[in-house]
Amino acid sequence: MTKMSAFVVLVVVVAVINVGVNGYVANRFNIKKNIKLYSTSTDVVTASGVSIIDDVPEEGTMFKSPAFKFFDFLLSIPILHDVLFGVYRKQTVEKAEKLGLKWTEFMNDQWNSLNTLKSYASELNNVNTKIPDYFYATIHAYKDGNLCWESALEEDLWSKLMIAPLYNNALDGDVQMRSKWLSITKRAIDKTDLKPKYATDLGCGTGLSMYMLESRFPSLESMTGIDLSTYKLAVCENKRRNEVPNGDKYKLFHAPAEASPVASNSQDIACLCLVAHESPEWVTQSIFKEAHRILKPGGYFTMLDLDKENLEVLLRNPFVAAIYKRTEPYMGEYIKLNTRKELENLGFEISEVDSASRSHKVYVAKKL
């Protein structure tokens, strides 16, 4: 190839990627809701009389188009992948700082406390916990997925930055979204006599959802956080010791959410927040089973995760789909998951299905 034709190819590739990146960034959460996701949707009225749309996914869609395959191929080229995500990361930090999120300062503080975090990580590390193969996947463009300090230290920043656009760029958008999740959960529980005392958060991460539980359920006496990442658990532990009111009510365990050390029939609430879209379908099914095991009869499972309708719209853009495949490797599996059916088959009764934001869905189900 002559130098000139090599240059032309490079320019075309960079232009395509640039258009795609801009589309991805712009579309990430600003989603039009006028396109139907799945071919079979059923209107369901819950026992409480709430009308819900329960979507059943159509097999395979977005990952089959030639355009997707083309972008997927481009992103499989390490140098292009690294350049693209390098640019995206740089733009992200700039965008965050413009919004008033002090990304660099926050990260510097975190890195400065790394020795303390490392000591928490080794205290919490359970040598008997075997990390399953699926958990080594590259997630959110971190090569080591959830098993590295970068992903743990940046978790709260990403949560703020990604959810802000849903709330007119308000930096507490993630708190508003989680508050809505808790309101929906409380709405279901308040219809019963249950005064929850024990809650477990499966895949608690840095505790963003778990540490909000008590604000809505002040009767809670003991909360358990489960996570496979000692990095995330260390950040969670740091908050527990230094920031969280009633930190001594929380216990953290390094374990798979699908095989937790929590006793059977012991919990009033089991949460699964933003974990299912990061998990193979069989793992989410196993976690549902585990939630059923640890809940008391009459206890509630509550799940917050991405709204599949929005996802389907996003993923119709082949470039976005290719990016998602690299950053959220199990998204296709999540889309296949039929949450309602899986929960009902296990012996849950669906109490609420509602939106926590225009991109997030909540399922609340009672263990019969």
Under 8 Å between Cβ of 146 and 121: no
Helix runs in the chain, H state only: 3-27, 66-76, 78-99, 103-112, 114-124, 149-163, 173-189, 213-216, 230-242, 281-294, 308-315, 318-327, 331-336, 339-346
Q: Which is nearer to ligand SAM, 72 or 305 (CB)?
A: 305
279 binds ligand SAM (CB under 6 A): yes
227 binds ligand SAM (CB under 6 A): yes
273 binds ligand SAM (CB under 6 A): yes
Q: Closest distance between ligand SAM and the C-beta of residue 205, in Å? A: 3
Among 121, 234, 257, 362, binds ligand SAM (CB under 6 A): 257
* Residue 93 burial class via C-beta count within 10 angstroms: exposed 0-12, middle 13-18, buried 19 and up: middle
Q: Say whether 310 sits in a helix, a strand or coil.
A: helix
Tokens at 344, concatenated = 């009902």
Q: Closest distance between ligand SAM and the C-beta of residue 13, in Å? A: 31
What string marks each residue from 280 to 299 as x (binds ligand SAM by CB under 6 A) or -? ---x----------------
Q: Which long-range contacts (CB under 8 A, 24 or more apart) does 67-73 make?
A: 67/318, 67/319, 68/318, 68/321, 68/322, 70/318, 71/20, 71/318, 71/319, 71/321, 71/322, 71/323, 72/322, 72/325
**Interacting span for ligand SAM (CB under 6 A) from 87-95, 160-168, 253-261, 360-368:** 253-261
214 binds ligand SAM (CB under 6 A): no
User: DSSP secondary-structure letter at 142?
Assistant: B
Among 96, 244, 274, 295, binds ligand SAM (CB under 6 A): 274
Q: Which is nearer to ligand SAM, 208 or 270 (CB)?
A: 208
**Interacting span for ligand SAM (CB under 6 A) from 25-33, 220-228, 320-328, 342-350:** 220-228
- The enclosing H or E element of 95 equals helix 78-99
Among 194, 220, 275, 320, binds ligand SAM (CB under 6 A): 275
What string marks each residue from 229 to 248 as x (binds ligand SAM by CB under 6 A) or -? x--x----------------
How many other CB atoms are there within 10 angstroms of residue 337's CB atom? 22
What string marks each residue from 133 to 152 as x (binds ligand SAM by CB under 6 A) or -? -------------x------
Tokens at 119, concatenated = 């000591």
**Interacting span for ligand SAM (CB under 6 A) from 63-71, 201-209, 238-246, 354-362:** 201-209
Q: Say whether 196 sits in a helix, a strand or coil.
A: coil
Residues 336-355 that bind ligand SAM (CB under 6 A): none
- Residues 337 and 346: their CA atoms lie apart, in Å, by 14
Among 54, 154, 214, 258, binds ligand SAM (CB under 6 A): 258
Q: Which is nearer to ligand SAM, 268 or 278 (CB)?
A: 278
- The enclosing H or E element of 239 equals helix 230-242
Q: Say whether 288 sits in a helix, a strand or coil.
A: helix
**Interacting span for ligand SAM (CB under 6 A) from 34-42, 94-102, 256-264, 347-355:** 256-264
Structure-token match 């929960």, residue found: 343
Q: Say whether 298 sits in a helix, a strand or coil.
A: strand
Q: Which is nearer to ligand SAM, 186 or 316 (CB)?
A: 186
Q: Say whether 238 sits in a helix, a strand or coil.
A: helix
List of residues contacting ligand SAM (CB under 6 A): 146, 203-205, 208-209, 226-229, 232, 256-258, 273-275, 278-279, 283
